[in-house]
Amino acid sequence: MEGLAAHVRACRKCGLSAHRRNPVVGEGSLDATVMFIGEAPGFWEDVKGRPFVGAAGKLLDRLISSAGLSRSKVYIGNILKCRPPENRDPRPDEVEACAHYLDRQIEIIRPKIIVTLGRHSTNYILFKAGLSVEGISKLHGRVYEANVLGLPVVIMPTYHPAAALYNVKFQGELERDFDVLRSEVEKLSLKKEA
């Protein structure tokens, strides 16, 4: 992971490198059972070089605790490592240039559960798993047993926490989805004990 981080810090493979203050590689446990995948750094992430440290990050921290997990035990990454100007959506050419770093992170961490936050990471991971991609409002909170990069993994798409900052309706949905996550985590630990 350190080697990969060095590559990301030096990366100039897409235009976003021109505007970034700090790339955000991702952080957390390399032994994580659960990996969260967001979209791209925002303002504060770009300033600090760490994922989910702004307002959406505070909400994500609360949700992570509600699922019986802690930030130090999970891994948090993004599809794009550099902030798009004005937090605009990732462009397909940027995803294409950057996502192999995320793939490599998945291969290093080998998570048992991948939680995709928002439609961009959901589309990317479901496509990778060969699953059909519907709207996030339909498939959030569902659990898919799938194969990503040759690894058996449970995928759970949910809303991006930033969505809940704009519309409280999404907060309740996110909380329910994280209850589903909690039971998936419990199932895994029961399996381990058995």
**Least Cβ distance, residue 96 to ligand SF4 (angstroms):** 9
Report residue 35 as tokens. 């990996």
Is 13 a residue that touches ligand SF4 (CB under 6 A)?
yes
Residue 59, binding choice from ligand SF4, ligand URA, none, Cβ under 5 to 8 Å by partner class: none
Stretch that binds ligand SF4, among 49-57, 65-73, 93-101, 166-174 (CB under 6 A): 93-101
Residue 37, binding choice from ligand SF4, ligand URA, none, Cβ under 5 to 8 Å by partner class: none
* Cβ proximity of 153 and 113 under 8 Å: yes
Residues 99-158 that bind ligand SF4 (CB under 6 A): none
Residues 17-56 that bind ligand SF4 (CB under 6 A): 17, 23
Is 136 a residue that touches ligand URA (CB under 6 A)?
no
How many Å separate Cα 76 from the centre of its chain?
6
Is 16 a residue that touches ligand SF4 (CB under 6 A)?
yes
Q: Which of 64, 97, 102, 156 binds ligand SF4 (CB under 6 A)?
A: 97
CA atoms of 192 and 43, how far apart (whole Å): 40
Q: Which residues contact 156 (CB under 8 A, 6 or more apart)?
A: 113, 114, 115, 116, 141, 142, 143, 144, 177, 180, 181, 184
Residues 64-83 that bind ligand SF4 (CB under 6 A): 80-82
Stretch that binds ligand URA, among 11-19, 40-48, 143-151, 164-172 (CB under 6 A): 40-48
CA atoms of 71 and 62, how far apart (whole Å): 10
Is 40 a residue that touches ligand URA (CB under 6 A)?
yes
Which residues form the interface with ligand SF4 (CB under 6 A)? 8, 11-14, 16-17, 23, 80-82, 94, 97-98
